[in-house]
Structure 1
Amino acid sequence: MIRICFTFLLTVSLSGYAQQQSAIDSLRKNYYSIQKTISNKFSDYYYPNRAIIYAQPEKQFLFKIDSLRSVFIENLIKYKEETNNADVKFILEEQRDIDFFFDRMILDFPYFHEAHTGEKVKLSHVTQKRLDRHLTDFNNPALLSSRDVKDYIEAFLRHQSSIEVKKTFYKNSDNKRLDAYLNLIPKYFINQACRDYWQYFYIFAHLDDWGSKNIASVIENFKAKCKNETYKKEIDSIYNESTAVRKNHLIKTYKTVDGFNLDIHLFLPDSINKFNKIPVIVYFTGGSWTKGNPEWDFYNCAVYAKRGWVGVSVEYRVADRYETTPFEAVKDARSAIRWLRMNADTYNIDTNRIVASGNSAGGHLVLTTVLADNFNESTDNLNYSASPNLAMVNAGVYNLLWEDATDWITRDLKDKSIVKNISPFHLLRKGLPPMIIIHGTNDRSVDYASAKEFAEKIKEQGNDFEFHTMEGAPHHIWFDRRYSGQVTKLRNAFLLKYGYK
């Protein structure tokens, strides 16, 4: 009888729990729906007005951020009341993520305030103390499942690494930012699991975004100290893959600058007829001038080599490896074209058929090889032209004074107008080589209007030029499967038009 009663009570209890859980699930679904609406309204307001928000003094800025935060919190409080606080774990996690999301904006205040006003500021002691409470969370492995927590930590380390990397210790490193991150991690992460994760995170990102050049010692050190076997195996696999793809073609140094050797990767056809000069296509990868891995274009280079061309991928200086700006990248791009002309006989290159191709920031570099005649490395032989014979640009950057995202380029310049020397829109003239530019109307990284403005001006000057609009296309049109096929067809037709097969 006792067992029967217990079984009955257990059944009733489970049934009641199921009903309660079903009610909570329904309420949570409604919470998510409202939160999504709030998030959309937040995005519609915040991102177009971000410059104005960050330009305010700290007190007014904090008031604005906390008022935006409160809308999300109010919805959470409503959910808490509706569930009678029965969904405690979820509510605490939501509260945490909301706090980290908005506290990251506060963390970013000094950087963006300076970017939008030119005024250097530090957070007040009270505000900094408010953020410092998160430091203990850095060593809680359970929080590694939260995207908002990790975003906050990434931002924190980004700001700290910007200070760290300025030390003379990093002067001779050509992986400056990675070295700075790896030196900072032991300072803030005592917990082994957390330390392993963040070392893994930054090494993985480096291999993906900058490649494996000169980081063998970093890999070995990580494998020796990391306790997570999965991390070690993954890093080892990616590193070996990266080093392997660097062995199936020719690598030459096209320039040594500030003690660093810059590589040019050459994919040659299987057979060469010395009496038949061949075209070359030169790839400049994108990456906002902060990252960029020549490996990204190795596949395309190999394809052109099979067609009888020379395929070339260029390593150029980027901010997160060398702490440089696009000014140095422009010099590197122009040096690379000159190197190909100077070494044309060695690789059987037809100097009348040099094609330069680039995506995004790489597209900007292509345009500056054509246009930035007065911006050259002091060691360059100016008797050789830095301009290609054809230029192909996907979703490029045309006007460096157009986008807020390019403010960092002029951040430390007393005369910010100097940027016009490498801004394609400001360098346009007659007599340019043929170009094709392809740009999407839904590009959130580079405004389509800036591409259209560039196209209209270049046509006014009577240049041989094609501008193709991709309706509804986002920024990454070169590998977005919805548009990449069309991009390829347009580029092939352009090459065929000028006799390139």
Structure 2
Amino acid sequence: MTGIHESSIIYEAADGSELPMLVFEPAGGRQPAAGVVLFHGGALRKGSADELAPHCRQLALRGIFAVSAGYRLLDQGAMGIVDCVADVRRAIERFGGLAASRGLGASRLASGGSSAGGHLALVAAMINHEAPCPAVEPGVAAVVALNPPVDLLAFSPERQQWIEEDIGVAAGRAIDYSPIEFVRPGNPPMLIQHGTDDKVVPIDQVRRFRDVMVQVGNECVLLEHERAEHAFHYPGPGGHFDAVIDATVEFLLERLAAG
């Protein structure tokens, strides 16, 4: 595509295996204004980095260094969500190095993703399971998420049990991966875009998360796309893709370009 340069590299997963990174950046020696690494959805069991390539292309056309990264999937190298999160952290670290070589420091970088990928980005930015205190150094200055689960305890007890079994956590421990439980002053600024007709992650869940973030003094912008369902943000007849890109670019440039 004219105006951008596309490439692909690999990065090392937490278990030493190789995972893909698709890299999109302004062409012609143009300095990117900000950077973002995105993680695909698919309930941790399917999907690939290719799914968010259209988003990254459009972001790169608007002056943003954009990367779409894969991670190990459940039963495809990952034993549980802990492995997925570990890969996301590795990807963010690798992304930070790539961005630095293009003149972008951590204050100008964001992470994010779609659905399960957005949830992983939030977990990586908000939760440190390896320390007594949940505070974490996210490696990025902002998060941009598309229809992410943010409150795992908002689902029915039966659904919570299924989630715990599916992602490989102990019974009753879905709370350990529920971002709303880890809202603290100083969480990174966030942009969440969500459909009002989302049946997978109901909009009320995300509204509560936004409210809790704001109550403790954090910035959390929630853009509601009317009558949009889950995974509304892809190119196609739904008609939301351009609006999603416009909002993402505006948020990233306003929060990060001067970092």
- TM-score, structure 2 normalization: 0.81
Report the alpha carbon displacement of residue 347 of structure 1 after superposing the two structures with TM: 4.0
Q: In 1, Cα distance between the equivalents of 2:58 and 2:169?
A: 45
Report the alpha carbon displacement of residue 405 of structure 1 after superposing the two structures with TM: 4.8
- Aligned counterpart in structure 1 of residue 206 of structure 2, from 441, 445, 451: 451
| Residue 249 (str. 1) matches residue 7 (str. 2) | yes
Report the alpha carbon displacement of residue 293 of structure 1 after superposing the two structures with TM: 0.8
Q: In 2, Cα distance between the equivalents of 1:460 and 1:368?
A: 20
| Residue 391 (str. 1) matches residue 143 (str. 2) | yes
**Whose RCO is larger (CA < 8 A, sep 6+)?**
2
- With over 3 angstroms needed to count, the CA separation of the structure-2 counterparts of 1:427 and 1:318, relative to structure 1, is same
What amino acid is the match of 1:411? E
Matched-pair contact (CA < 8 Å) for 1:272–1:348: no
Q: In 1, Cα distance between the equivalents of 2:114 and 2:13?
A: 25
- With over 3 angstroms needed to count, the CA separation of the structure-2 counterparts of 1:495 and 1:349, relative to structure 1, is closer
Look up the match of 2:240.
483
What amino acid is the match of 1:410? E
> 3-state SS of the aligned residue for 1:391?
strand
Q: In 2, Cα distance between the equivalents of 1:418 and 1:355?
A: 28
| Residue 365 (str. 1) matches residue 123 (str. 2) | no
User: Which aligned pairs between 1:20-419 and structure 2 lie closer than 5 A?
Assistant: 249-253=7-11, 255-272=12-29, 278-375=33-130, 385-403=137-155, 405=159, 407-411=161-165, 415-419=170-174
Report the alpha carbon displacement of residue 385 of structure 1 after superposing the two structures with TM: 4.1
Report the alpha carbon displacement of residue 414 of structure 1 after superposing the two structures with TM: 7.6
> 3-state SS of the aligned residue for 1:287?
coil
Report the alpha carbon displacement of residue 298 of structure 1 after superposing the two structures with TM: 2.0
Report the alpha carbon displacement of residue 371 of structure 1 after superposing the two structures with TM: 0.2
> 3-state SS of the aligned residue for 1:446?
coil
> 3-state SS of the aligned residue for 1:396?
coil
Report the alpha carbon displacement of residue 463 of structure 1 after superposing the two structures with TM: 0.4
What amino acid is the match of 2:7? H
Report the alpha carbon displacement of residue 482 of structure 1 after superposing the two structures with TM: 3.7
What amino acid is the match of 1:352? S
Q: In 2, Cα distance between the equivalents of 1:441 and 1:277?
A: 33
Look up the match of 2:229.
474
Q: In 2, Cα distance between the equivalents of 1:307 and 1:493?
A: 10
- With over 3 angstroms needed to count, the CA separation of the structure-2 counterparts of 1:477 and 1:406, relative to structure 1, is farther
Matched-pair contact (CA < 8 Å) for 1:375–1:422: no
Look up the match of 2:219.
464
Structure with higher helix content: 1
Q: In 2, Cα distance between the equivalents of 1:267 and 1:483?
A: 21
Matched-pair contact (CA < 8 Å) for 1:267–1:310: yes
Q: In 2, Cα distance between the equivalents of 1:470 and 1:341?
A: 31
Q: In 2, Cα distance between the equivalents of 1:354 and 1:386?
A: 10
Sequence identity percentage: 26
Matched-pair contact (CA < 8 Å) for 2:32–2:64: no
Aligned residues: 244
- With over 3 angstroms needed to count, the CA separation of the structure-2 counterparts of 1:495 and 1:303, relative to structure 1, is same
What amino acid is the match of 1:395? N
- With over 3 angstroms needed to count, the CA separation of the structure-2 counterparts of 1:491 and 1:414, relative to structure 1, is closer
CA RMSD across the alignment: 2.8
What amino acid is the match of 1:252? I
- List runs of 5+ in structure 1 lacking aligned partners: 1-247, 377-383
- TM-score, structure 1 normalization: 0.44
> 3-state SS of the aligned residue for 2:101?
coil
Structure with higher strand content: 2
Matched-pair contact (CA < 8 Å) for 2:14–2:87: no
> 3-state SS of the aligned residue for 2:72?
coil
- With over 3 angstroms needed to count, the CA separation of the structure-2 counterparts of 1:402 and 1:325, relative to structure 1, is farther
> 3-state SS of the aligned residue for 2:173?
helix
Q: In 2, Cα distance between the equivalents of 1:266 and 1:492?
A: 17
Report the alpha carbon displacement of residue 323 of structure 1 after superposing the two structures with TM: 4.9
Q: In 1, Cα distance between the equivalents of 2:60 and 2:245?
A: 17
Q: In 1, Cα distance between the equivalents of 2:191 and 2:9?
A: 29
Report the alpha carbon displacement of residue 289 of structure 1 after superposing the two structures with TM: 1.1
Report the alpha carbon displacement of residue 469 of structure 1 after superposing the two structures with TM: 2.4
What amino acid is the match of 1:249? S
| Residue 498 (str. 1) matches residue 255 (str. 2) | yes
Report the alpha carbon displacement of residue 344 of structure 1 after superposing the two structures with TM: 4.0
> 3-state SS of the aligned residue for 1:401?
helix
Matched-pair contact (CA < 8 Å) for 2:106–2:139: no
